[in-house]
A and B are shown apart, each in its own frame.
Chain A
Amino acid sequence: MSDLATLEKSILDQIAAASDEAALEAVRVASLGKKGSISALLATLGKMSPDERKTEGAKINLAKDAVTQALATRRDVLKAAALDARLAAETIDVTLPLRDTPADAGRIHPLSQVWDELTTIFADMGFAVAEGPDIETDDYNFTKLNFPIGHPAREMHDTFFFNPKEDGSRMLLRTHTSPVQVRTMLTQKPPIRVICPGRTYRIDSDATHTPQFHQVEGLVIDKGSHLGHLKWILHEFCKAFFEVDHINMRFRPSFFPFTEPSLEVDIQCRRDKGEIRFGEGEDWMEILGCGMVHPNVLRACNLDPDVYQGFAWGMGIDRIAMLKYGIADLRQMFENDVRWLNHYGFKPLEIPTIAGGLST
């Protein structure tokens, strides 16, 4: 074997033996570097005769090419092995549990959600939202709504009072949201189309009553709206709110001081092990009261009952929230137990819309 062949074999053996890229680089420098063994052989060519140079040069260059090729091949192998080794070491435990994002952890109270649902449905029907103060005068809460002083109908409302003022008058906590209707009629010109959601108060506390609760009332005043329209609106509302294709409703004559005629409305439902389904079944469940605004109320709000007319309705927001979402106990609405809120509450990005649905 010639010296060159021996050298080439020796270098190729070193390349094969290089265990990492650094070792391989050392082999490259020792062979092809400025002072490398093959570079040194190439440097000897200058002293040779042209013929000798031709034959020897070709040999040396062949050896150089073989070494260069082997270096590149080995480098690829070592690089892939190094990456494999690195990747093998780089593992994480993908089963580690995530933490809820804040938007998943937060909750909207069912009352607020239903409030938004109501507003969405009625806004689509052209209703604005009116609000008024919780602390009211006797005049707005009762007298202007055709509750004569001393009338037993006032007793139907167990009223919270504040202490009398120096002039003998005393403020109270509104027992219904109807004073907002009065305020609206006194400040706006017909046509009026508003809903009035708000907090109301009565001295009452048992399984189905809490001293504070929430109502939403509706009011329409113009020159032609009648009971037929009222029935239609409530029918449309109930279908939209309970998200059913059809619903049977029963309108019964009743009595409220501020409407004449007055009606109570029942919806047909089926109760099954605590679950209530609407649009089917045998039971009737009372859901709201309504009627044509009483002429005395219109007069008290400076509207001529022979020119203007309209209707109003009212229902419990807490109650319809309970019915729709299967909440059994009213009192838990205000106990703020985080377990209850997490269960019955809504995620903040579940925003009721007409296009996307109320609760889906």
Chain B
Amino acid sequence: MKFTLSWLKEHLETDEPLDKLAEKLTMIGLEVENIEDKAKALAPFTIARVISAEQHPNADRLRVCMVDTGDGGAPVQVVCGAPNARAGLISVFSPPGTYIPGKNITLGVGTIRGVESRGMLCSAAELQLSEDHDGIMELPADAPVGRGFVEWARLGDPVIEINLTPNRQDCTGVHGIARDLSAADMGKFKDPGIRPIKGEFPCPVQVTVEDPTLCPGFALRLVRGVKNGPSPEWLQQRLTAIGLRPINALVDITNFMTYDRARPLHVFDAKKVQGNLTVRRARDGETLLALDGRTYTLDSNICVIADEHGVESLAGIMGGEASGCDENTTDVLIESALWNEINIAQTGRKLGINSDARYRFERGVDPAFMVPGLELATRMVLDLCGGTPSENVVVGKQFGEDRVIDFPLSEVKRLAGIEVPLVEVKLILTRLGFMLAGAGPVVKIAIPSWRTDVQGKADIVEEIVRIVGVDKVPMTPFDRGEEPRKPVLTPIQQRTRRAKRALGARGLVEAVTWSFITNDAAKLFGGGQAELVLANPIAADLSDMRPSLVPGLVAAAQANVNRGYPDLALFEVGQVFRGDRPEDQLVAASGVRHGDASSKGLGRHWTGSAAADAMDAKADAFAVLAAAGAPMQALQIVPGGPAWLHPGRSGTIQIGPQNVLGYFGELHPRAAEALGVDGPMIVFEVILERIPEAKQRATRAKPLIDLSTFQPVSRDFAFIVDRTVKAGDIVRTVQNLDKKLITGVTVFDVYEGKGIDPDKKSIAIAVTMQPRDKTMTDQEIDAVAARIVAEVTKKTGGTLRG
């Protein structure tokens, strides 16, 4: 919403300076977005006369001008490139030190191709008055040399732009803004009553409203014998200042009423209207050439005004070209109506029309101002164009509902925490147009018709507080209460937080990828369900809610590879989607390693480096699980995983086949190809919800530790086993043999190759035994060793390596 200061002063008697008015507007909720104060910005620009313009000695396209700046001093030499610079021309001059807004430079004394230049003759574009770059401005011969240009051109009226919130339709007119400012002590609101204009004959055009829900009220009047032409200069200036193009007096009056009174109107050339008007739904396929020069195809959800010919106007949005007013118009029909807000919004959206009328009608105009608005417009038409008015035709309602609420004065303190005395409440609300009855503690308040946004007590509190000033509300310390200090994070929030830190501590870098991926990628990772496909994606490749973080991470890794950073390790902890119910959204912790990115570190290094492999991903997954509090002893690792992983270089982490916690391994070459990535990508994914919750313990104390005083004993064993035998099974077998005595089993060597059958491998383990009550004898140690060998042989078919 834009308006000028002088326009505001038509409705507000005030001596307050502009900056104070602007500050107040912002502080009462009408946020000032911009003030364009040409008087300030263009103050140094003056009117000057070119005395002479000679060819520049060193440049074909430049001229050396002597300029009379009208300050009584000697002529000033200016080098000018404009083709129209000539002796006798009156133009606009800026001295050195002037900021040139159109060029964003501050002028200095310059030497151009060897000739000194002490200022500039300006184009309209350089002053940001138009796009005209073609030459310097040409002012009339009688323009007073030496005077300020802005003042002479009457550009001095500051333009204020407000970022209006959608609830304040009453402030889509300058009149309403002035009312708000007067309530905030910024001056006296000028609100003379509107006198009805007596019709001199019955309106010959009748109106039928077919669907009152789309058009609750409609008022119409004919003015005969008008003379339409350019509107007077004051009106043109008002409109031009806020960026509207003056067209003719009748159209300008409707635009003025829109911005002055938040009352959009429409004018028909009565001679182009055939018979009576009907407000109805459009018929499917009907078309209208609108005033914007575009033809719209309509349907039955769109409300139109039609005559016997057909559609003449898109109700409340835009008129039709055929019945529009031009300089030949002699008889004009003025329409002032009420429209259904939702229907206007839908129609505007559907047709893509953002008109000033739509903007106001979809926010809901003052219903009680329909007829007064028509009267005021008639007055303007008679004043500017002459003519004889008919009587009004009014269909439907012409007033809003009376809205009176009971308001306990204590509400202000209760909700806003500030005490406002009744006299002040009364003053504020009365100035805003509310009416109060009673002296408390509960008063009756009548809500003015134009405040369609005010519905209940909380709205009244807002009105009072915003005018009193939110800055007056005292800050009140907030007591955190008696609640015990407990962790506030839920288990899943804790796991998320710990998973991130654990992965970071393993050298991975946290990424944040899009929640949406391509449909192909989603399908590849078990997603792509219809309920997870967006109806209106922002781009074709961001169409599906991700079932896994892996595709996004792999794409992010590849992008880094393409940028020249091939050795990297990324992780993400975030939401994945298995369906559209809340319980279908899970938190995954995932990672990708590419290139020389083993657990040791990134890139080649003298201490050793290695390409990442599936075991690095296993370690990442285990770090997440351990940090998230998973029962590590209960985890089972099963070879293989989902189809997107390499079948031989992947594993599934589970606690029984029913509870799969995650996967790790090398991305399947076919999946890599489908995702457009190269080189092995090492990935893992763990679903944090799948981790069983640890049992709540009654005490934070840890169990007592038993520190044996006897030396532990370590024995090494190397077994020859089939290649298919899993090392994990051997470890578990030995561990289970005597859980009290055997405190450690580590695999310290795995060997395949020379000296071993091709379908066999050697697995070497070190077993630590910790005696508790006496030192072990050699015989006892040998006995345990024999049991270990026997048990491993029994479970895996392995034999002790000779």
Residues of A within 8 A of B (CB): 96, 99-103, 105-109, 111-112, 116, 119, 123, 125-129, 131-135, 149-153, 155-156, 160-165, 170-171, 173, 191, 199, 201, 203, 205, 211-212, 220, 224-229, 231-233, 235, 250-255, 260-264, 292, 294-295, 305, 309, 333-339, 341-342, 345, 347-349, 351
The answer to whether B418 touches A227 (Cβ under 8 A) is yes
Known: A255-B165, A336-B511. Contact between A226 and B462, CB under 8 A?
Answer: no
Known: A232-B475, A336-B560. Contact between A341 and B345, CB under 8 A?
Answer: no
Taking CB atoms, residues of chain B closer than 8 Å to A348 are 500-505
Shortest Cβ gap from B530 to chain A (Å): 7
Beyond known contacts A336-B512, A336-B570: 13 more, CB 8 A cutoff: A112-B510, A155-B349, A160-B535, A161-B534, A162-B531, A203-B536, A212-B514, A228-B416, A253-B462, A255-B165, A260-B458, A333-B512, A347-B504
Known: A127-B488, A134-B575. Contact between A231 and B508, CB under 8 A?
Answer: no
Known: A163-B530, A336-B512, A338-B568. Contact between A126 and B505, CB under 8 A?
Answer: no
Shortest Cβ gap from A232 to chain B (Å): 4
Shortest Cβ gap from B250 to chain A (Å): 29
Q: Which residue of A lies closest to B608 (CB)?
A: A99
The answer to whether A163 touches B607 (Cβ under 8 A) is no
The answer to whether B507 touches A336 (Cβ under 8 A) is no
Taking CB atoms, residues of chain A closer than 8 Å to B599 are 102
The answer to whether A105 touches B507 (Cβ under 8 A) is yes
User: Which of B195-203, B327-335, B477-485 forms contacts with chain A?
Assistant: B477-485
The answer to whether A103 touches B509 (Cβ under 8 A) is no
Taking CB atoms, residues of chain A closer than 8 Å to B474 are 228
B contact residues, total (Cβ < 8 Å): 97
Q: Of A112, A133, A163, A337, which is within 8 A of B500 by CB?
A: A112
Interchain CA distance A165-B577 in the complex, whole Å? 18
Interchain CA distance A252-B470 in the complex, whole Å? 7
Q: Of B465, B470, B480, which is within 8 A of A125 by CB?
A: B480
The answer to whether A211 touches B511 (Cβ under 8 A) is no
Q: Of B166, B493, B545, which is within 8 A of A131 by CB?
A: B493
Taking CB atoms, residues of chain B closer than 8 Å to A101 are 507
The answer to whether B475 touches A261 (Cβ under 8 A) is no
The answer to whether A102 touches B507 (Cβ under 8 A) is yes
Chain A CB count within 10 A is highest, among B480, B515, B599, for B515
Known: A162-B580, A261-B465, A295-B456. Contact between A232 and B505, CB under 8 A?
Answer: no
Interface residues of B in 601-619 (CB under 8 A from A): 601-602, 605-607
B513 at the interface (CB under 8 A from A): yes
Known: A134-B515, A227-B465, A261-B465. Contact between A129 and B504, CB under 8 A?
Answer: no
Interchain CA distance A112-B538 in the complex, whole Å? 25
Q: Which residue of A lies closest to B29 (CB)?
A: A253
21 residue pairs A–B, Cβ–Cβ below 8 Å: A102-B599, A129-B488, A129-B490, A134-B545, A134-B575, A211-B516, A226-B476, A227-B465, A229-B417, A252-B470, A253-B465, A254-B31, A255-B29, A261-B458, A263-B470, A334-B513, A336-B556, A338-B560, A338-B570, A348-B502, A348-B505
B167 at the interface (CB under 8 A from A): yes
Interchain CA distance A127-B483 in the complex, whole Å? 10
The answer to whether A211 touches B510 (Cβ under 8 A) is no
Q: Which residue of A lies closest to B577 (CB)?
A: A135
Taking CB atoms, residues of chain B closer than 8 Å to A225 are 478
Taking CB atoms, residues of chain A closer than 8 Å to B508 are 106
B129 at the interface (CB under 8 A from A): no
Shortest Cβ gap from B343 to chain A (Å): 8
The answer to whether B342 touches A149 (Cβ under 8 A) is yes
Q: Of B488, B501, B503, B505, which is within 8 A of A128 by CB?
A: B488
The answer to whether A309 touches B507 (Cβ under 8 A) is no
Interchain CA distance A149-B490 in the complex, whole Å? 35
B312 at the interface (CB under 8 A from A): no
Interface string of B459-495 (1 = CB under 8 A from A): 1011001100011011111101101000111100100
Chain A CB count within 10 A is highest, among B27, B462, B504, B515, for B504
The answer to whether A152 touches B470 (Cβ under 8 A) is no
Taking CB atoms, residues of chain A closer than 8 Å to B489 are 119, 123, 129
Taking CB atoms, residues of chain B closer than 8 Å to A107 are 504, 509-510
Q: Of A108, A125, A128, which is within 8 A of B478 by CB?
A: A125
Shortest Cβ gap from A225 to chain B (Å): 7
Interchain CA distance A298-B659 in the complex, whole Å? 40
Q: Of A102, A127, A212, A232, which is within 8 A of B601 by CB?
A: A102
Taking CB atoms, residues of chain B closer than 8 Å to A105 are 507, 509, 601-602
Interchain CA distance A218-B506 in the complex, whole Å? 34
The answer to whether B536 touches A99 (Cβ under 8 A) is no
Shortest Cβ gap from B353 to chain A (Å): 14
Q: Of A161, A165, A253, A295, which is within 8 A of B466 by CB?
A: A253
Taking CB atoms, residues of chain B closer than 8 Å to A261 are 415-416, 458, 461-462, 465-466, 470
Taking CB atoms, residues of chain A closer than 8 Å to B415 are 226-227, 261, 292, 309
The answer to whether A133 touches B582 (Cβ under 8 A) is yes
Shortest Cβ gap from B777 to chain A (Å): 40
Interchain CA distance A212-B545 in the complex, whole Å? 12
B252 at the interface (CB under 8 A from A): no
Shortest Cβ gap from A211 to chain B (Å): 5
Shortest Cβ gap from B409 to chain A (Å): 15
B88 at the interface (CB under 8 A from A): no
Taking CB atoms, residues of chain B closer than 8 Å to A205 are 538
B355 at the interface (CB under 8 A from A): no
Q: Of A165, A260, A305, A337, which is within 8 A of B459 by CB?
A: A260
Interchain CA distance A126-B482 in the complex, whole Å? 10
B20 at the interface (CB under 8 A from A): no
Interchain CA distance A292-B506 in the complex, whole Å? 45
Taking CB atoms, residues of chain A closer than 8 Å to B341 are 150, 152
Taking CB atoms, residues of chain A closer than 8 Å to B483 are 126
Taking CB atoms, residues of chain A closer than 8 Å to B490 are 129, 131
Interchain CA distance A264-B29 in the complex, whole Å? 9
Taking CB atoms, residues of chain B closer than 8 Å to A191 are 481
Interface residues of B in 120-171 (CB under 8 A from A): 165-168
Interchain CA distance A129-B602 in the complex, whole Å? 36
The answer to whether B570 touches A161 (Cβ under 8 A) is no
The answer to whether A152 touches B166 (Cβ under 8 A) is yes
Interchain CA distance A251-B475 in the complex, whole Å? 12
The answer to whether A233 touches B478 (Cβ under 8 A) is yes
The answer to whether B417 touches A227 (Cβ under 8 A) is yes
Shortest Cβ gap from A220 to chain B (Å): 8
B457 at the interface (CB under 8 A from A): yes
Taking CB atoms, residues of chain B closer than 8 Å to A211 are 514, 516, 538, 542
B585 at the interface (CB under 8 A from A): yes
Taking CB atoms, residues of chain A closer than 8 Å to B309 are none
Interchain CA distance A123-B497 in the complex, whole Å? 15
Shortest Cβ gap from B361 to chain A (Å): 11
Interchain CA distance A162-B532 in the complex, whole Å? 7
Shortest Cβ gap from A151 to chain B (Å): 8
Known: A109-B510, A156-B166, A253-B466. Contact between A161 and B535, CB under 8 A?
Answer: yes
Q: Which residue of A lies closest to B571 (CB)?
A: A106
Taking CB atoms, residues of chain A closer than 8 Å to B574 are 199
Interchain CA distance A262-B488 in the complex, whole Å? 28
B761 at the interface (CB under 8 A from A): no
Q: Of B166, B473, B535, B580, which is within 8 A of A227 by CB?
A: B473
The answer to whether A336 touches B165 (Cβ under 8 A) is no
B593 at the interface (CB under 8 A from A): no
The answer to whether A100 touches B511 (Cβ under 8 A) is no
Shortest Cβ gap from B287 to chain A (Å): 25
Interface string of B546-568 (1 = CB under 8 A from A): 00000000001001100101001
B260 at the interface (CB under 8 A from A): no
Q: Which residue of B lies closest to A100 (CB)?
A: B601
Interchain CA distance A126-B485 in the complex, whole Å? 8
Taking CB atoms, residues of chain A closer than 8 Å to B295 are none
B666 at the interface (CB under 8 A from A): no
Taking CB atoms, residues of chain A closer than 8 Å to B516 are 211-212
Interface residues of B in 340-385 (CB under 8 A from A): 341-342, 345-346, 349, 362-363
Taking CB atoms, residues of chain A closer than 8 Å to B533 are 162-163
